[in-house]
Structure formats: structure tokens, C-alpha cells
Amino acid sequence: MTALAQRQHGPSSRAERRSPAVRRAWIAGAGVTLVIVVIASLAVGARAVPPGEVLGALFSPSGTENEEVVREFRLPRTILGLLAGAALGAAGAIMQGLTRNPLADPGVLGVNAGASFAVVVAIVGFGIDSPSGYVWFAFAGAAASATAVYLLGSTGRGGATPVRLALAGVSASVFLGAVTSALTLTDTQVLDEYRYWVVGALAGRDSTLVGQVTPFLLAGLVLAIACGRTLDSLALGDDVARSLGQRLWAGRALCAAAVTVLTGAAVSAAGPIGFVGLVVPHAARTLVGLDHRVVVTFSALLGAILLLTADIAGRVVASPGELQVGIVTAAIGAPVFIVFVRRRKVLG
């Protein structure tokens, strides 16, 4: 990783000098924080539930009203926030490593735009008006868009270079965004249904929806962890990666598949939530160094913490109502990202 440090941050990079003990300490701390946040997510809301009753609802339910609130409403929401946040964080780390662009996020491959377009098609063409109904449309749209972007970016000599992938993704996002806007602006009812999904939310997601997307999210996280070594090789440059025996097309295809599955599943269930995949990888590299095998895993932990914390904050600041989690992540992520840019610790 020394060569990677010299390429991106110089030989004196403090992030590169993170010792294994420091990395383990940060990961352990993030794990403990995540447990606390999960319990808080189950306890906090318009109806506060004591932590003792939360644990009772999970491990020894007795049928009280508070336990029903925890098990029927907050538990599916918390599981979705946990998995979606982890997916977006890991996908962001992969995208930034794959494109070698510190400003990249999962939307670069056109995943968000493809999912949004498919949701509008589900509403307009099939009259579907619930998240559990159009989740498959959103996932299919995300996968189709990402596949098209990858094929478009792979044409010509040199294959799927980072620049070609980014340009193809931006082009697809602009085109699909324009078509989506045209469809929603011509029908007020469609716009009303679509705008609730597009802002990003965990509220109103039931156990059926969670069960639909959980296998994809778990599979995507496995793929993401497998991408670590590939991303480390790609960060050294194509020529060095080839000399190390890395098959560039296969490595990039694996990374693109991981991003598609992770982001497609998360976006289809919770909407296109912003800033998680953009901010979290920067924080992860600052805290645990530049090894992508560690960064991807740590980004998944931080992404879950950030999304659940934003969801809790949305319930607290607007109680007894709530703010959608997508609004809160934007409010948190934008200033944090500006701080990272100004301090230039991870942007080089």
C-alpha cells in the first residue's frame, strides 16, 4: 500500500500509517456505536419505549402494546436502515476506488436515475402506489441502467476506464432524469406518489418489503468485501495491476456488479438517499487508512450508523411528526463534506 499512498497522499500520509491496532479499535468502536444506535432506533419515536422493553420485545415478548410497536413497526424500519446504510456506504467506497474519483457516489453509474425512472413507469403504466409494489421495478431499473452504463463505458479501445464509466453514467443520469421529470410533471397524481419515494424514507416500510430486498443487500455486501483486493490493485494503476496478475475487466465487472446490487436494492426500498455513499468513504479512509479491504467494511459500518442516526434525528426534531431520512442525511452530509473538502485530508 506504500505505492498507493505515494500516488494519492504522499509518503507521509497519516491515513496510510494507521496501525492494525488503531484500525481494530475504530472498527470495534463503530460496532459498539451501531448496537447503541439500533437500540435507540427501536426506542425513539412519537411513542417512547424504554430500552428494557425494547430488549424484552426482541427476546421475550409478552404481548404489550409497546412491544407490538417495536416488533411490527420499528424493527422492520431499523433493519432496512441498517442494511441500506451499510449498502450505500460500501457502494460509495467501491465507486470512489473504481473510478479513482473522490467525488464519486453510487449515482455515478446511473443507478439512482434508472431506479427513479422505473418507479415512475410502475406508477404511470401499472398503477402501483406502494413501496412493496414497485420495489422490483426500481431494482430492475437500477440494474438495467448500471448494465447499460458499463457496456457503454466498455466500448472502444482500453475497455471500461474510470473516465468512460463516469461519462457514461452522467449521460445516462441526465437522459433518464429528463424523461422522469417529463412523466411526473404531466400528471399531478403521479408526481404526488413519486415525490414521497424520491426524497428517501424508511417510514412506512413493512416486513414484507424488508424481506424482499434483504437477500440482495446481503449478497451485495459479500460482493463488496470481495472487491477490496481488486480495488487495491486498480489503485496502483492499470499497468501495475496487470503485472500483479489482475484481470482488469473482471475486477471492474465485479465492482460494478457489487455497486449495482447494493445501490439498486437500497434505492428500490428506501428511495435515492444522498450523501451517505459520498461522505462515509472519506471518513472511513481518514480513520482506518487506505486499504480498501478495510475501508469497504468500515464504510458499511459507518453508513449504517449514519442512516439510522439520521432517521432517529428526523423523528426527534419534528416530533410528533418526522422528517424523511433523505432530508436529514442531506442536512448532515453537505456540511460534513464541505469540511472534508476544505481540510483536504482525504481529497488529496
Q: What is the pLDDT of residues 285-298, one digit of tens each?
A: 999 988 998 999 99
Q: Report pLDDT digits (tens) over 230-245.
A: 898 888 877 877 777 7
Q: What is the mean pLDDT of the chain?
A: 85
Check residue 11 and give its pLDDT: 39
Check residue 42 and give its pLDDT: 95
What one-character-per-residue DSSP string does 155-199 give? -STT-S-HHHHHHHHHHHHHHHHHHHHHHHHT-HHHHHHHHHHHT
Burial 165-174 (b: 16+ CB within 10 A, else e): bbebbbebbe
pTM, two decimal places: 0.86
Check residue 41 and give its pLDDT: 95
Under the banding of pLDDT at 50, 70 and 90, the label for residue 7 is: very low
Under the banding of pLDDT at 50, 70 and 90, the label for residue 10 is: very low
Check residue 28 and give its pLDDT: 96
- 116: closest CA among 274, 222, 254? 274
Check residue 347 and give its pLDDT: 42
Check residue 224 and give its pLDDT: 94
CA distance 235 to 94: 11
Check residue 131 and give its pLDDT: 76
Q: Where are the domains of the chain?
A: 2-102+203-343
Q: Report pLDDT digits (tens) over 101-127.
A: 787 787 777 888 898 899 899 888 888
Check residue 179 and give its pLDDT: 93
Under the banding of pLDDT at 50, 70 and 90, the label for residue 128 is: confident
Q: Report pLDDT digits (tens) over 312-340.
A: 999 998 878 888 999 999 888 888 777 76
> Going by C-beta distance under 8 Å and a sequence separation of 6 or more, which residues neighbour residue 36?
none
- Does a cis peptide bond (omega within 30 degrees of 0) precede residue 320? yes
Check residue 193 and give its pLDDT: 80
Check residue 292 and give its pLDDT: 92
CATH architecture of 2-102+203-343: Orthogonal Bundle (1.10)
CB 90 within 8 A of CB 296: yes
With cell 479513482, the residue in question is 100
Check residue 139 and give its pLDDT: 85
Higher-scoring residue by pLDDT: 50, 320: 50
Q: Which three cell numbers stand for residue 342?
A: 476544505
Check residue 1 and give its pLDDT: 44
Check residue 220 and give its pLDDT: 93
For residues 83-109, give the mean pLDDT: 87
User: Per mean pLDDT, which of 2-6, 33-37, 44-48, 337-341 is the most reliable?
Assistant: 33-37
Check residue 312 and give its pLDDT: 95
CB 270 within 8 A of CB 205: yes
Check residue 5 and give its pLDDT: 42
CA angle 144, 150, 9 (to 5 degrees): 130
